[in-house]
Structure 1
Amino acid sequence: MRPTISLLSALLFAPFLAVSLPAQAQHDHHAMPAAGQAAPLSDGLVRKIDKAAGEIVIQHGQLDSIGMPPMTMSFGVADKTWLNKLKAGDKIRFAAEMKGGSAIVSRYEMAK
């Protein structure tokens, strides 16, 4: 005889499944900052400002917040006025985040 799961057993098991799935999803994305938690600052060297495209090209090290290895790449910016304040050659510390499928600089400060 095969064991069967009664409706009562299924109803009792459902809350445990509902609790365990979100916990697993959080575990799978451990490299991403939690909602409301700011991405850490990383060192970068501004290589180019592209005002027309609204982007900044930064040479950077490992960016754990968005899972990027060291490279030089373009980023969008959270505030377009930053494109008037920065210039090629500036050393910055910046936070990188994904927004709408694109990497953006969400905040920055001049490196000391």
Structure 2
Amino acid sequence: MGEYSKALSYYEKALEIKQKTLPSNHPSLAISYNNIGETYRQMGEYSKALSFYEKALEIYQKTLPSNHPDLATSYWCMGSLYENMKDYSKALSYFQRALDIKQRALPPTHPSIKNVKQSIEIVKKKL
């Protein structure tokens, strides 16, 4: 646990390979950006995390349908980051976007929907 610098190194290498072989708006790049962003979030380096999450979200918004689960995951990541940054109104907004997509894209009993609802309830209590 906690080998963030090693994880970051591997994620950055993967991103470098993808950048050389894929178009700049390929969803696979967004996955790498999200992974790097999540690692920075776990390390408490929120401004770096935000930068990578925003790159991922931008790609997803341009390339995926508006009800795609990966787009919802990206919104959830942004919500989690803003929750960590104690910007609860922004966190709530992103969590609600994630929930909206998940409710349109997934079966009503999918555990991911429950997880987002829990995130929303936690943030609402902090507002």
- Fold match (TM-score > 0.5): no
Greater relative CO (CA pairs within 8 A, separation 6+): 1
Structure with a larger share of its residues in helix: 2
Structure with a larger share of its residues in strand: 1
Instruction: Flag the structure with larger Rg.
Output: 1
- TM-score in terms of structure 2 length: 0.20
